[in-house]
Structure 1
Amino acid sequence: MSHVYSPTRHKEQKEITSEEQMKEIMNERRWQYVDVGITDKVLKDNFNFLNDAVVIRSGAEGIPLMTTTGIYGPIAPYQKVRLEQGKGKGAVVKVIHNYVEERSLLDELKERRIHAKTPKKENVIKVQAKWVSGKDGGGLSNVGGSANVFGATGSLLVNETEIDFPVLDIHHKDFDETLAYYGAKILQPNESFNMGFDKPLFGMEYDTSLPGYIQDYVMKSYGGGGLFVEHHPFPHIWFPNPNENERDTNICRVLLGRIIESKEEQERDNRESWAENRCPERHGNKKQPEYHFTVFRFPSDGHAIAVDECCIHNDSFCNGKQVVFLANTDANTVALRETAPFQNIRISEQETPYK
């Protein structure tokens, strides 16, 4: 659960939700589980966007498999903050300074991606695939705004018979080096940072504690329509937020991807500034595009993972409560496909000897 699809985002005249309408909407079942950890003014000013992010996703039997359980923050531009677990209502985002001009986390993420080495073969899976967005003709007729919150879902046409994503946990000796390749970084517990993004980032907490979210929702045609990946022009942070009793079963595994660019394309990508609200064009080998993917597992003890704008990702392999920081922009989302929903997917996780 990452990007929020807003059907009203591009309307020239957006309807203003009145306080009476807000109260009526917030009496709906999907709002009953939400810890509103933001001020009334912030909620009102951003209600349409936040309302689109409040969901209940159920399986065939009607059992909720993913529920929105909190709204926190936001992290405002130029703020220095740290993330805190379980400190009561309104927790998670602790503001240290309201305005700083120091080097931003977003700058650091971009530098990590630019200077990273290609990962070792055993730490990535390479797949031949063609990314066709919903706008470019890859749209799936049975997956859309009514089925999920990701908007017009396109297709990642995979030229493989199976996919086995490698998993690196935080103790693996190559964890940080491989993470950098994707433009990402692990945040230590209580580490302070200035995000450096020019829009507010809201922390939406989602609970997928019940088993079966992947099998009984994501992979079903009536649900997510198959495993998806996406990118969008805002940075992400995933922050596990279990209570003390939930910590042992709270698991966060984030799938990251990167198209394998030519040397010239990568140099251009690294050199040119990005247009606002748009990701850079990354085509790789136009005849046979290839992608690298890795799953990163980290503990639910106050650590977090931050990723650069436009990083390819998926967070469906998380289990439990995760706070996902996101902004009000469009996204490019595609479901993995052969000629039907891609089912032969697994992750291989082993005890790491590097502790």
Structure 2
Amino acid sequence: MVRMQDIDAASVDAWLAARAPLHTAQDAQHTGVALIEESGADEGAVVEAARAWQREWYDAGYAELGAADAAVVRSVAANYRLPDLRPLLIGLHILGPALREHGTAALQRRYLTPILRGEILACQLFSEPEAGSDLAGVRAKAVRVPGGWSVSGQKVWTSNAHFADVAELLVRTDSASSRHAGLSMFVMHMDAPGVDVRPLRQMTGGAAFNEVFLNDVFVPEENLIGEEGTGWRVAMTSLSGERAALGGEFEAVPPQLVEKLAAMALRRGRSEDPLVWGCLADAAVADFAHRAVVEHGAADPQLAGAAASVTKLMVTDLLEVVTSAVLEIGDAEVLLERGASIDAQWSEFILGKPGVAIAGGANEIQKNVIAERHLGLPKG
């Protein structure tokens, strides 16, 4: 439930000032540019810091706000260096919306508050090895057993599966149906017998994605989200939440991105080069346009759905512009950088970019969503 509050920027600023440092000009010299799907040796500490911060955030009343109040809070919070909250994204903005819109009152009571307080972290078991972006091609099956369902199958490209407490699981419950029909959605506990999580090493060197094998995993009847056979509708709610989050509160674009590009140019003696100035200008324009659309969509709930898809497209375009700038400033040799240096992180940024482009639906899918759902154009 959304807490109805009259949020003012000054009170939010005072609360944050007591708990977090402000961003400074030096941040661009020393902070990283990791994208949304990165992992590292300190991942456990990152996860615990996110949990702790979210608990304080909820207790202060900032975790359940309407669109206008949330926009005020987000604008003020952008001035502060907060913990990395990406481990919370799937629970707050993918599973959470599905439970609010489709879950029973009992499911909402059991999971929503723990998710909002950071006590339960989630992953998303949608994609499968032979389906790609085609969610309607789901083959993982759930068959009825006493008290619930037995699930078997394989999921892949699952972020957070290695530390998630629960999963939002899309499976086929009617094997006689095909495509969008016969799909159902469940909340599944990741520590249930029969769940096997295996990390997938990425070309960045990290392993934020996983493949998940499900071998006769029992899921209780009461963990069904919505009605049996309505999993596609539930999935669309979750994907809309994911697109909105990636374009807004949990955006894939690291903060101070243009400043970090400028700092890289300064380190490499390219700060007076007109070609570099042009690249920085392109990045600044793309960044400004993306953030303007985010704020416009946040201020008008009627535009939220369309804005989510538009901003996801803009994020992808922005990352392409930034990649071009990095390669102009650092040349192709930046891709060879390894270790903990800032330039090595730019290498990981470029190599991790394809994962962000696919998250929430590839560009082609976003364009179809905009055309068909928001512009009312006929299906191709």
Q: TM-score scaled to structure 2, two decimals?
A: 0.22
Q: TM-score scaled to structure 1, two decimals?
A: 0.23
Higher helix share: 2
Larger radius of gyration: 2
